Amino acid sequence: MKGIEINGISKTFKDTKALTDVNLQLEEGKIYGLLGRNGAGKSTLLNIINNRIFQNEGTVTLDNEPVKENEQVLSRFFLVNENNLYPEGMKVKEAFFWGKEFYPDFDMEYADKLCKVFELPKKKKIKNLSTGYQSIFKNIMALSVNVPYVFLDEPVLGLDAYHRELFYRLLIEKYAQNPFTVVISTHLIEEVTNIVEHVIIIKNGQIIKNESRDDILNDGYCVSGPAMMVNAYISGRETIGEDTIGGLKTVYLLGKPDDVLPDGLEISSMDLQKLFIQLTGV
Amino acid sequence: MKQELDQEKPIFIQIAETIEDGILTGAFHEEEQIPSITEFSVTYKINPATALKGINLLVDEQILFKKRGVGMFVSKGAVQKLKDKRQSHFYDSYICKLIEEAKRLGITSDDIIAMIERGFVQ
Amino acid sequence: MKKALKYQLSELKLVFICYFAILLFIFAAGFIGLSIVKINIGSGSVSIGMSGAFVCLITGICIFSEHFLMLMQNGFSRKIYFKSSLCTIGIFSVVFAVAEGLMTKLIQVAALSYKNIKVNTSIQMIFPSLHEKLDGTAGFLMNMLLTTLMTGCLFLLGYLVAGIFYRLPKHFKTPFAICLPVTLFVILPLICGLFPSAWNTFVDMLLTVMGINSNNLILTFLFFIITFILLSAASFAVVRRAEVK
């Protein structure tokens, strides 16, 4: 099977079970959204896939080759997360230099162009950059390495709205020209809803949703109206959440709505963020 | 032409409608090229696969056609095809909702007709 | 592994330069000093051996703390990183040994006019009774070999300590960072002073194992080779399961 296969991955830190029996497939050339609340296990999973930490159980393979400690495979991955693993004293342009040395397809011209676009000073030491600019630097690296599997753990941490928008546009442009696999782990669900093709939701170390974005959005809807009418409608149906204000009630349901709703009730689609909140809430 | 996408309708349908609007308003002329998938996806910040889905909808309806190695073009006669399509959907898209709201507010069909006539005069 | 090695050697350029600068400084200072004090200062032995000891330890620490994370970010496995580190250490050890050897020779030539000053190589410092035997080419080569081994062990020691420190859970790190220098510079000298006989016995045992008591060169070499192997094995065990969080 082409792509990354994650089988039965479990990871325990001291007495906390961070991941339990995670099974996933990451195909080539698709953009994935990895969503989960704080502490759900997203970063742990990305770290395991990228050989940064070791799983207690399970395997990760790429095209049936094990990933662990295998640089043939690892040379085709690139992970950026909040950790800065570049040495004290290394400047941005030195990092680019080594990027080119380690990744033969690294596009130096593109990296330079992005530095100008983001106004990132290349002569500055990475550790001296602000949080936002450290994110920008890492994102430029991720966009310039040209490897088939790129993992972005909270790529827009600390970025202002202008830079966030710029980053998304650049990512889409790069992807449109030459599709590669991107896994974006983020809290800003609304911003990535339209960018991702496939959504994976993690809750308490387990995958609770693993579907295409279109399927997930088709599979939920909201019904709102006077509380009594809504209650009558939902009897016998399973809801995943509800909001009440005064006499008005909104319920969130999975599945497809009936073609005709009783008068007085309004139906609306459930966006990914709403679905996420309802599914991952306590 | 829409500049923002909402969450009510699937994105690819909104993309298709945006292109249709462009054709109907003359922004895109028949037998002329429309923006590329890259341009659409970057402008609207959407996944290129979604943009492609929307475009393919119109290709299936023969509103657009693909020139290999060049891009997407507006078909000859697309404007008329779109007008016909939208006219036949006009009742479902606009009239039904209008009547629903009118009934809610107690507006009679005579009132509506009078309003429509007034609207066309202005 | 070539790319990793290239990176590690290039990042340690500064260390190379500093070390040679130190050596040159010692040479220059010694030369100038001797020229100024042209009186008979009695006989004495000097050696520049292991002047880089401290540099070696610190560099060993750097090789772990700076390079490990960078190479993990760029898709290298721990095995390759370790192999590359070992090569780096090997190369540096040889270079340092050669540099010291040549510098000693230079100083010997410069000190020829000072009949009472003996300039020794490191090996001659350790085995003073074999001084004459170790004067020729064979002695010079043995000196380089021994220096290489000793330097390598020092590098590895720094590397191992850095690795252990990295892998310690947070609440052990500070105690470890405090205990190590305290043990070396406070506790050890205290033991030395309070229990001189026990300390002497210990030192005696150590010198016997190292072959120094018996002037057994083969034993000395064996000691350092085994130490190097043990330190390598320990370092690999530490690196193998080091996680990047």
pLDDT tens-digit map of A178-234: 999 999 999 889 899 999 999 999 999 999 999 999 888 888 888 999 988 888 888
Helix (H, G, I), strand (E, B) or coil at A20: strand
Under an 8 A CB cutoff, do C75 and A70 touch? no
Q: Are residues A269 and A206 in the same domain?
A: no
- pLDDT score recorded for residue C40: 47
Task: List the Cα angle A8/A273/A81 in 5-degree steps.
Answer: 55
Mean pLDDT within A74-98: 94
Residue C91 lies inside a defined structural domain of this protein = yes
Is the pair B, A in contact (3+ CB pairs within 8 Å)? yes
**What's the gap in Å between the CA of A54 and the closest CA on chain C?**
7
* Contact criterion met (CB below 8 Å) for B52 and B37: yes
Domain-terminating residue out of A188, A214, A240: A214
Residue in A173, A218, A269 nearest the CB of B38? A173
Residue in B7, B37, B46 nearest the CB of A195? B46
Residue-range domain boundaries for chain B: 11-77, 79-121
Sort A14 into a burial class: Cβ within 10 Å, 0-12 / 13-18 / 19+: exposed
- pLDDT score recorded for residue C25: 79
The DSSP 8-state label assigned to residue A125 in this structure reads B
d(CA C206, CA C188): 15
Of A117, A112, A113, A109, nearest in space to A92 by CA: A112
- pLDDT score recorded for residue C46: 60
* Contact criterion met (CB below 8 Å) for C173 and C161: no
Of A243, A198, A200, nearest in space to A224 by CA: A243
* Contact criterion met (CB below 8 Å) for A242 and A281: no
Q: Are residues A226 and A201 in the same domain?
A: no
Residue C229 lies inside a defined structural domain of this protein = no
* Contact criterion met (CB below 8 Å) for C239 and C162: no
Q: Are residues A276 and A139 in the same domain?
A: no
**All partners of chain C with 3 or more CB pairs under 8 angstroms:** A
Domain-terminating residue out of A214, A233, A249: A214
Q: Are residues A24 and A75 in the same domain?
A: yes
Residue in B11, B37, B38 nearest the CB of A194? B11
**What's the gap in Å between the CA of A78 and the closest CA on chain C?**
7
**What's the gap in Å between the CA of B8 and the closest CA on chain A?**
6
Buried b (16+ CB within 10 A) or exposed e, A173-192: ebbbeebbbbbbbbbbbebb
The CATH number assigned to the domain holding A274 equals 3.30.70
d(CA A92, CA A138): 10
Q: Which residue of A has its CA nearest to B53?
A: A214
Question: ipTM higher than 0.95?
Answer: no
Judging contacts by C-beta atoms under 8 Å, the chain B residues touching residue A193 are 7
Judging contacts by C-beta atoms under 8 Å, the chain C residues touching residue A76 are 75
Sheet holding A57-62, edge to edge: A16-26, A4-13, A57-62, A65-66
- pLDDT score recorded for residue C162: 93
- pLDDT score recorded for residue C51: 63
Is the pair C, A in contact (3+ CB pairs within 8 Å)? yes
- pLDDT score recorded for residue B5: 77
**Measured between CB atoms, does A179 come within 8 Å of chain B?**
yes
Structural domains in chain C (count): 1
Q: Are strands B64-67 and B71-74 parallel, antiparallel or unpaired?
A: antiparallel
- Break chain C down into helix, strand, coil percent, rounded to 5: 80, 5, 20
d(CA A37, CA A25): 21
Residue in A52, A75, A76 nearest the CB of C72? A52
The CATH number assigned to the domain holding A99 equals 3.40.50.300
- pLDDT score recorded for residue A169: 95
Q: Are residues A163 and A24 in the same domain?
A: yes
Q: Which residue of B has its CA nearest to A221?
A: B8
Q: Which amino acid is at A264?
A: G
Mean pLDDT within A69-96: 93
Mean pLDDT by 10 residues, chain C (245 residues): 91 81 76 60 57 81 91 95 94 87 77 67 71 73 87 92 91 86 82 82 82 79 93 95 91
pLDDT tens, N- to C-terminus, chain B (122 residues): 566 777 778 899 999 999 999 999 989 999 999 999 999 999 999 999 999 999 999 999 999 999 998 999 999 999 999 999 888 888 887 888 888 889 889 989 899 999 889 999 88
Residue C113 lies inside a defined structural domain of this protein = yes
Helix orientation angle between C137-167 and C217-240, rounded to the nearest 10 degrees: 30
Structural domains in chain A (count): 2
- pLDDT score recorded for residue C91: 92
- pLDDT score recorded for residue C101: 81
- pLDDT score recorded for residue C116: 61
**What's the gap in Å between the CA of A246 and the closest CA on chain C?**
47
**What's the gap in Å between the CA of A233 and the closest CA on chain C?**
49
**Measured between CB atoms, does B60 come within 8 Å of chain A?**
no
Under an 8 A CB cutoff, do A101 and C78 touch? no
Task: List the Cα angle A212/A216/A218 in 5-degree steps.
Answer: 115
Asked: is B11-77 a CATH 3.20.20.80 domain? The reply is no
- What residues make up the domain containing A13? 4-214
Helix (H, G, I), strand (E, B) or coil at A268: strand
Is the pair C, B in contact (3+ CB pairs within 8 Å)? no
pTM of the model: 0.88
Residue in B8, B38, B45 nearest the CB of A194? B45
**Measured between CB atoms, does B108 come within 8 Å of chain A?**
no
**Measured between CB atoms, does A80 come within 8 Å of chain B?**
no
Residue in B8, B38, B44 nearest the CB of A177? B38
User: What's the pLDDT band for A236 if we cut at 50, 70, 90?
Assistant: confident
d(CA B76, CA A158): 49
Domain-terminating residue out of A214, A245, A265: A214
d(CA A146, CA A98): 14
- pLDDT score recorded for residue B4: 75
Under an 8 A CB cutoff, do C67 and A87 touch? yes
**Measured between CB atoms, does A28 come within 8 Å of chain B?**
no
- pLDDT score recorded for residue C37: 58
pLDDT single digits (tens) A105-115: 999 999 999 99
**What's the gap in Å between the CA of A202 and the closest CA on chain C?**
20
* Contact criterion met (CB below 8 Å) for A249 and A225: yes
Under an 8 A CB cutoff, do B10 and A173 touch? no
How far from the centroid of its chain's Cα atoms is residue A271's Cα? 16
**What's the gap in Å between the CA of C90 and the closest CA on chain A?**
22
Q: Which amino acid is at A217?
A: L
Residue C223 lies inside a defined structural domain of this protein = no
Under an 8 A CB cutoff, do A70 and C77 touch? yes
pLDDT single digits (tens) C7-16: 999 988 877 7
Q: Are residues A240 and A170 in the same domain?
A: no
- What residues make up the domain containing C78? 2-167+234-240
Mean pLDDT within A86-107: 94
Judging contacts by C-beta atoms under 8 Å, the chain A residues touching residue B42 are 169, 172-173, 176
pLDDT single digits (tens) C74-98: 999 999 999 999 999 999 899 888 8
